[in-house]
Chains A and B, each alone.
Chain A
Amino acid sequence: MDMNQIIIDARKHGRAALDEQSGKALLAGYGVAVPRTAVVSGAAGVDAALKQLKTPVVVKIMSPDILHKSDAGGVKVNLASAAEAMAAIDAMAASPKIKGARIDGYLIEEMAPAGQEIVVGGLRDAQFGPLVMVGLGGIFVEVLADVSFRICPISRLDAQEMLDELKGAPILKGARGRKAVSRDAIVDVLLKVGGENGLLMRHAAEIREADINPLIVSETAAMAVDARFILG
């Protein structure tokens, strides 16, 4: 896949950011695992789509007018059957915050296996160029700002030290009776995003900010469940 084409297409459509599907396609192009997906235009396409996907699935609204999908009621998770998915789509289409918006379709996506939520980010600094960030999801990032930054490109050792630097680092090792999650999987994603020839280095001129939030990390693997790339 031509990763540059994804950005060129978004620009051509006058978009200031990559939509979720394009963002994930970009990540997949750099070897970051993303859920398998299908796009349907309405409830009628669900049956065919679910033949290729494993349940449970998530349904997400696709609209250039809706930036915060969850807030608008545009995300429904843990749908176990075609019937549930169709009901979710019908409910979204009828919901007040979505009714008036332009709708590109509905994204049906396999649920990621359970795991620890991580945030991986990117940012272009005016003086230093692309930076990569990592933090633990939820309150760790949003309330405690427990994140670490590095200047791209990072080495494997840099990526490991980024994780060690987090105050919440013990959680990755399985604090409070939970299973340890794969540090290697997180480090690999950090390198694919922020390493030499990684996504942020290759698209330094086009990507202003990036959020992979969440990246869900299990004992063995990491999957980017949502991604946002702001262009400019």
Chain B
Amino acid sequence: MDDRKVIEQFAPLFSPRTVAVIGASTKGTALPNVFIRRIREFGYTGEIYPIHPSAEQIDGLTAYRTLADTPKPVDYAYIAVSAAQIPDMLAAAKGHVRYAQVISSGFGEVDEGKDLQNVLAASARAGGMRLIGPNCLGLYTPRGRVTFTEIGPKELGPVGIISQSGGLGTDIIRRGMNRGLKFSGLVTVGNCADVTPSDLAEFYLADPETRVIGMYIETAQDGRRLFEILREAKGRKPVVILKGGRTQQGLAAAASHTGSLAGDDRVWVALSRQTGCIMVNTLDEFIDVLLAFQTLTPRPQHPTQRVVLFGNGGGTSVLATDFFARLGLDVAPFDKQTVGALAALKLPPGTSITNPVDAPVGTLQQEEGRVAEKILDIIYGSGKPEALVMHLNMSAFVGRTRPEVLDNLVQAALRIQSHYPGQAHFVLVLRSDGEPALEERKREFRAKAGALGIPVYDEMVNAGAALAAVQAHERFVHTRRP
């Protein structure tokens, strides 16, 4: 399908002008009442139509009897009532509803609900709408000012999310927000009786707001379609997949070598190799990698390979060098010329001037961070890295430096970045020991850095995994679209 058509098709979901809510009570305490309050607080200004069998008004809004009775057609219906009554409600919509999201559970996720889910899907078709869910939590779309979460960034961002788990969807928004992620949308898709992760991946690939796609998938019923869509996309946008649950197929019943060898998640490894999508194992890694793609611009023409580590902490540098090497990122010593140029700076003793560059606080704070700028200038100009990881052990600064030193260091790095545009990915690692005062300072600093478009990580391993993902994406595009 061409991009324009896909975008048009999903516009009522991501920017609904009319929202119907089924399940809100006159007492105002049910989940759908909370949903009404949340979207109003989130700035939703379109029409809201509560649907109720008898009430005239709900939460100060005129209520309607059925989905077919609303003054204007419904772009998005949020439905949270007991499972058994929903199919009839959908069938009665008579083409008046574009998207219905069924929050309720009691469908295909339990054996006794499997038939009801088939009925639900058939009713949605009969009612002329696309169905999302059932058994999910809702939709978060900053461009449409609709959200199912209590908090979430109001600004539109570049990260498009599809989650088969509702709870994890909430985690992604909340934890992601605190890490600086900004979203183009997040849809919890639950049991996927109709709309699947593949459908939404197709939308996010086409959507000009979305630059990176994240998916939490438990089962891909239409795995074949997902494969075809992602293969066709040829790494057009990075796709990060957090896969929960592993396929059981094959292992026990396998009658051949091939069958017995395929019983784990090898198919997902295959998917990632063939489509360039990045497989991650944990929620934190998911967020780390999404953050990298939100802030860094991939450079497929020169896939990331050589990394320079610069900061305070000798042991940390050594451990990180090992870890990065295991990920396929080189922290290789500088050539003679670069070492010579750094030596000419006559840095204080204790400063290591090969890569990794280990500079104690005493060095970093010299001349309000201007020494760091000179070091970085040589690193960029002569060392020519493809990524620079600046790591600051914040506890080492406490009591020894003025608070501006951290600022100065980052500003110095940004100035150098601008002198060498497009040369190296710049990543910041702010290490802390968990002291509340330090954590607070780190939070503030993270926000500042985030506003400048710098991805901030807690530890070197997180930064390493994120850079390795960027490298994998760059390499894929490099080989597939020469």
A residues neighboring B (CB under 8 Å):
17, 119, 121-123, 125-129, 131, 133, 135, 141-142, 145, 147-151, 154, 157-158, 161, 165, 209-211, 213, 228, 230
Contact = CB atoms under 8 A, between A and B. Distances in A.
B-side interface mostly: helix
Contacts of A161: 273
Given A149-B269, A165-B273, A131 B256 contact: no
22 contacts: A17-B255, A121-B256, A121-B258, A123-B259, A123-B262, A125-B262, A125-B267, A126-B247, A127-B220, A127-B223, A128-B224, A128-B227, A128-B267, A129-B224, A145-B261, A148-B270, A149-B262, A149-B270, A151-B270, A209-B254, A209-B256, A213-B257
B274 interface: yes
Given A123-B250, A123-B262, A126-B249, 15 more contacts: A122-B258, A123-B258, A125-B223, A127-B219, A128-B227, A129-B223, A131-B262, A133-B258, A135-B261, A141-B261, A142-B257, A147-B261, A149-B269, A151-B227, A154-B274
Interface in B247-283: 247, 249-250, 254-259, 261-262, 266-267, 269-271, 273-274
A127 B243 CA distance: 14
Contact of A127 (B222, B257, B266): B222
A27 to B, nearest CB: 15
Contacts of B223: 125, 127-129
Contacts of B418: none
B29 interface: no
B257 A119 contact: yes
B85 interface: no
B473 to A, nearest CB: 15
A119 to B, nearest CB: 6
Nearest to A17: B255
Contacts of B261: 121, 133, 135, 141, 145, 147
A211 B256 contact: yes
Contacts of B269: 149
Given A127-B219, A128-B227, A209 B249 contact: no
Contacts of B257: 119, 121, 141-142, 211, 213
A121 B271 CA distance: 17
Contacts of B222: 127
B479 interface: yes
A230 B260 CA distance: 13
Contacts of A128: 220, 223-224, 227, 267, 271
Given A122-B258, A125-B223, A157 B250 contact: no
B256 A230 contact: yes
Contacts of B273: 150, 158, 161, 165
B279 to A, nearest CB: 14
Most buried by A among B222, B224, B249, B256: B256
A131 B270 contact: yes
A127 B255 contact: no
B6 to A, nearest CB: 22
